[in-house]
Amino acid sequence: MLILNINGERKSVDVPDDMPLLWVLRDVIGLTGTKFGCGIAQCGACTVHLDGLAVRSCVLPVSAVGDKAITTIEGVGASEVGRKVQQAWLAIEVVQCGYCQSGQIMSATALLAGTPAPSDAQIDAAMSGNICRCGTYVRIREAIKQAATGRKLVPQTIPNEAAAASSGTDAPGQAFLSVRQEDAA
């Protein structure tokens, strides 16, 4: 019998010592926000915090946890940093399919807890183990910056080749597609 500290609550579990923490969380405890992605710690979907550090729960044997505090996506919003990250995720509308997002949020929260004002290089390094098949990386970076600074950011405008051609500009990135509010209504 193991006693785990999960999201501030002590839980007793009767599982094999080599069972990955991911399956204890999902199948035994019933916390299904942490996702199975690859099973080899390469995609980041299974990311949780162990004493505040981002770890891949799909390869972490439950016996290795000991008395360390486990935080999952269900509990990360209890911290100020976790709450700011979740709010920024919503404000920037990061989520597309959503499957990887719990792992992305957990990695971003661990980054900001240790590095409150990260550079782009620090964001890249911290988030490099998290894969998003939908390609929301630009919005992920913007949400991390918003959570760090508290400033509302506007998603980047995407260069548009047709707009460049019609404006007579041939330099990439010189013309942008824009939608006026009255056109969007």
99 in the same domain as 140: yes
* Same domain membership, residue 11 and residue 35: yes
Do 11 and 31 belong together in one domain?
yes
Evaluate whether residue 99 is within a structural domain: yes
The answer to whether residues 9 and 62 belong to one domain is yes
Domain that holds residue 118: 77-149
Instruction: Answer whether residue 94 is part of any domain.
Output: yes
**Integer Rg of the chain from CA:** 20
If asked whether residues 42 and 72 sit together in one domain, one would say: yes
Helix axis angle for 137-149 and 101-114, nearest 10°, is: 40
Structural domain total, the chain: 2
Distance from C-alpha of 88 to C-alpha of 139, rounded to nearest angstrom: 10
| Whether residue 6 is found in the same domain as residue 25 | yes
Please tell me the pTM assigned to this model. 0.82
Q: Tell me if 110 is assigned to some domain.
A: yes
- Per-residue confidence (pLDDT) for residue 153, from 0 to 100: 64
CA distance 93 to 11: 34
Task: Give the residues of the chain that fall short of pLDDT 70.
Answer: 153-185
- CATH code of the domain in which 54 resides: 3.10.20.30
In a domain, 14, yes or no: yes
Say if residue 99 is in the same domain as residue 72.
Answer: no
Helix (H, G, I), strand (E, B) or coil at 122: helix
Residue 138, beta-bridge partner list: none
- Asked whether residue 139 is assigned to any structural domain, the reply reads yes
